[in-house]
Structure 1
Amino acid sequence: MSQRRVSHSQSRPSASRQVIEDDEEDLSFTLPSSSQVQRGMDRLTSAEVDRKVAEVVQFILIKDQKKVPIKRADIIKNVIKENRNIYPEIMKKVNMTFEKVFGLKLVEIDVKNHAFILVNNLEQVTDRLASMNPAHPKTGLLFVILSVIFMKGGAVKEAVVWNTLKKLRVDPGERHEEFGDVKKLLTDEFVRQKYLEYARIPHTDPPEHEFRWGLRAESEVSKTRLLEFVAQLHEKEPQNWPKQYKEATTSDARSSQAS
């Protein structure tokens, strides 16, 4: 008797189909009311809630290793599952755990798609960037790029970035001993991690691209401390750059209020 074989494409959903399904699942999710949350909490013991909180924390920590945003849909689908009616309470406890235990903060950087990243407090991250620790050469390179973008008004043509790196003996056309493929690092890895944005400049022929700060950089990096660092390099005061000084102080004041 012949048996009909199920093709591989039929048995497993395509990547694009999976993305659509994940998006549809998140669109179908609405935040439960306080009464729904309370009913859900009443059905679980405190130990069961704590266990679910720990599972979410572990899931986020693992996902964060790739430094890409973590979607709410993934948290619900892979961890919270049937306990989605107490999602707000779980995430409140998750946030408290990150802040008190790890010194981290879970920040929603994409409200439309409900995507989160983990960030350190501004002082810790900026100190790490400013130190240019040789153990973290990519962090030092990122700090240089962010500095150039900030001092140039928020957007810089990629040609300016490549010329700056060449002055530091880092050629985007050659494989670097520490950074590997430098162009891929900036236009792919740092972009996926939301430290940089890389976009085509409209109406340019041949096409030109520019770099901007990404959402993670905006959340993690203190512009005031960055400007102080640049000022030290030039042996000047931050106020010597009035436009950048005003932007830095305003930006950090907003971040402090949000915290």
Structure 2
Amino acid sequence: SCQNKHRARERRQQAQVEPQNLVGAQAIVGMGEEFPSSLSSCKFSCRTPLDEKAILLVQFLLRKNNLRESITKEDMIKHVIKKHKKHFTEILRKASELMVLAFGIEVKEVNPTTHCYALVSKFQRTSDGRLRGEEIMPKTGLLMTILCVIFMKGNCATEEDVWEVLNVMGIYAGRKHFIHGDPKKLITQDLVQERYLEYRQVPNSDPPRYEFLWGPRAHAETSKMKVLEFLANIHDTVPSAFPSWYEEALRDEEERARARFAAMLRTSALANVHSGGSGRHSFSHLQ
């Protein structure tokens, strides 16, 4: 079952991931202080006043960007951070991590003299890399975060696992979100209908419990390595900083390469049959 698989997976990961890599792994729970296998121990009560300020700062940054207004350190302190001014760097760091996790956007200082900032996509670059308000695609970062949780949980994550992470990011089932609207509908219906996620009942669960897997469209449009790169980028490290997941991602890349090559062979063979050729020169471009 999913639960047994991901418990075994967690035990292997706890044994393999070096202590210095825990900081990177913490990114998946936003501002949580626990390793992903201990998500259940980090409830909403874990959040500190600085965490709350970081969430407010995310909302402030998105509003400023949507209005095409400049984003300055002075404004952030004046309107959001206020008495926590001495913790500006830490609050901005937390907010930046949430922006990447939720929206796939990073906060960049574009003018160190005036302390002006801009929102920059980690996925789609424009000529100057900056984002206009309408270009922000909220589902991108949220989906990547969920796919990351599923991967880290042994390719199958319970609904509780997913909501534990989203709760730390300030996203709750049954509570309208200022960006995502109805989060539960988004992840259990919209993303499922779009085939990015698979949402199914845990076998033999009574009362019924549910779990998430990657959907066929997620497998087609991204990969375990890309999801691991997403996690690594959040903390300016590399995928190999997470050994067990990196090894699995490498195996996945190899399997994908073999599948692509096999598909290419089939396509070339069919084309050769239809053209009536002998096939001797079908793969000359590979030599």
Q: Please report the TM-score for the alignment, with normalisation by the length of structure 1.
A: 0.46
Q: Which structure exhibits the higher relative contact order, with contacts defined as CA atoms closer than 8 Å and separated by 6 or more residues?
A: 2
Q: Please report the TM-score for the alignment, with normalisation by the length of structure 2.
A: 0.42
